[in-house]
Amino acid sequence: MQQLISFTTDYTRYVLKGGTKFYAWMGSLAVLIVGMMYVFYLQNTDGLIVTGMTSQISDGLYLANLVFLVGVAAGAVTIVFPAYVYHHEGMHKVAVLGEMLAISAVIMVMVFVFAHMGRPDRLWHMIPPWGIYSFSSMLGWDVMVLNGYLILNFICGFYYLWCKYSGNPINKKWFIPLVYVAIVWALSIHTVTAFLMANNPARPMWFHSMMPIRFIVTAFAAGPSLIILIFLVIRKNTKFWVDDSAIKLLTTIVQFCLGIAIFLTLSEVVVELYARTEHANGLYYLMFGLHGLTGLVPWFWSSLVLMVGAFILFLIPRFRNDFKLLTIPCAMAFVGIWIEKGMGLIVPGYIPSPIGEVTEYHPSFVEWLLVLGIWAFGFFILTILLKGAIGIMLGEVKFGGPAVAAK
């Protein structure tokens, strides 16, 4: 118990110390979080009418970010799998950082669920077995597997840090099997999220069995892209060194998964539009517009250009091997998939409606600020988790020793 109290105290003291750059970063995130709390108050006092969602389009930016962030959380397995299954030395050194990212991403997903509820006081209906929607709703299953993934990563990540902090050996008899369970569980969370959409026969754009495959390959492209960017920031701003081999392996994973994602997207375009029926109207509206309405057309083509452009840059050795230039295709892939999962998938699934209504969706200021604030909240938590984890792995935070001031 004394070690546990000491761990919590030393961890907290370490993450609260930093230089001007650290405080400026955390302060900027705090401002956005305050803005999020304000618009969340507006949404819960005035209702979802303050958003751009309507009876025809009941899911917008909130669900889009939820779906995307589930992929980011699942993408953390691209570190853990090579580290523990293939014993990749470079990945093993940073595996716990991937688990910290997964924890932060899942927390953000939960907050987006909370924002999307409209009536937060009814959130308990999502909790099995008491909630009336816990097992009958696919969203209830999604929340359940996400909570399981959060618990698994929390136990694995902080147990590893605890052993490093206290100097105790890792009990591999239960730790390694738990890591393997977490690896399999990572695939399940995005599969269930895909079923959340694919089990809607009234929405032809989602109603196909390839949806889980598309979700997983985009997850393994977007997640590692963000991880690479984070690793490069860590290498530049901390004493902790991420091996080149880890970044190069993640780059290879992004390159292949992004290529598969583009192939699946273009295959769907050919299948749907070659012999066009009314079931292809959602995709046709997304690509070219429908009945003079073209609100989502720029989003689709922007996403496609970013994803294809990133894939081409990944094929060029200069961009792939130069870590300064590598940030460009990683950022392009991340943003392109974010658009594809939101304005390119969630929203057009509702257009046209099952009775043929064509209603466009325009996110309101409340939605944009709430989304931005939730992302800021997630990065706030991620910064704390990564900073503490790096301090422990560097030996600056350890049992019986003073926490060294962080830069």
In this predicted structure, what is the pLDDT of residue 155? 94
Give the integer Cα–Cα distance in Å for 314 and 328: 10
- Please state, in angstroms and rounded to a whole number, the distance separating the CA atoms of residues 232 and 215: 26
What are the residues whose beta carbons fall under 8 Å from the beta carbon of 401, sequence distance 6 or more? none
**Three-class SS of residue 290?**
strand
- Three-state secondary structure call for residue 395: coil
Task: Kindly state the helix (H) or strand (E) to which residue 263 belongs, with its residue range.
Answer: helix 244-274
What was the pLDDT predicted at 27? 95
Q: What is the pLDDT of residue 405?
A: 46
Largest CA distance in the chain: 71
Cα 337 from Cα 297, distance rounded (Å): 16
In order of their start, the domains of the chain are: 7-393 (1.20.1630.10)
DSSP state for residue 204 in the 8-state scheme: T
Token pair, residue 209, equals 């069995």
Q: Where are the alpha helices (DSSP H) in 118-167?
A: 138-166
Tokens representing 188 are 């399940």
Strand partners, 290: 293
Q: In this structure, are residues 41 and 70 in contact, taking their beta carbons and an 8 Å threshold?
A: no
User: Residue 391, exposed/middle/buried by CB under 10 A (0-12, 13-18, 19+)?
Assistant: buried
pTM of the model: 0.92
Q: Which residues of the chain have a pLDDT value below 50?
A: 403-407
